[in-house]
Amino acid sequence: MKLIFKNTEVSKIFGNKKYKMEAILELTPEEKQIIHDHGLAGTLLYISEANTENFSQHNKGVGIPGLDGLIKLMTKSKIPKITGSNLMTGLVFEDEFVLSLIEVKQRVIGAAEVFDAAIKSASTFLGEQVLDIPLV
């Protein structure tokens, strides 16, 4: 599995810049087969707090001081739910702030790592596994 990012800069009207980041998974035929066989494409890998129904004002980023809080405030509504399917078909993010795309990139990487672990777990699920657990 490879996670590929393509970053570009798009000029807008009146000279404003907009940054664009595309992310897509490149899978081996074996990985594609495992995903198909075990129905993993619809696996929910990430959902932002802004996409959930019950979250507090604090979780919206209100009152979080500093740049970290500003980045979280800017990005929470910009990250969609990430599933195996949309990682495989590709995700596109655009923003006027390059820092917010850096935060988005970290979320996409985390989602891809979870998907990779799910694929590996599914591929080795069948059969017998013996764990040697030492007793105290």
Structural domain containing residue 56: 2-119
64: in domain: yes
In a domain, 91, yes or no: yes
Greater confidence, 107 or 56?
Answer: 107
In the chain, the number of structural domains is: 1
Residue 124 domain flag: no
Tens digit of pLDDT for each residue in 55-71? 333 334 433 344 444 44
User: What pLDDT was estimated at residue 50?
Assistant: 58
Average pLDDT over residues 19-46: 94
Does 85 map to a domain?
yes
**Rounded CA separation 110/115 (Å):** 9
Confirm whether pTM is higher than 0.75.
no
Could you tell me which residue, 13 or 123, shows the higher pLDDT?
123
Q: Is residue 136 part of a domain?
A: no
- pLDDT score recorded for residue 25: 96
Q: Does 86 fall in a domain?
A: yes
Q: Is residue 126 part of a domain?
A: no
pLDDT over 60 at 123, yes or no: yes
The rounded distance, in Å, linking the Cα atoms of 106 and 78 is: 13
Q: Are 46 and 82 in contact (CB under 8 A)?
A: yes
**Structural domain includes residue 133:** no
Confirm if 23 and 88 have CB atoms less than 8 A apart. Answer: no
Q: What percent of the chain has pLDDT over 70?
A: 77
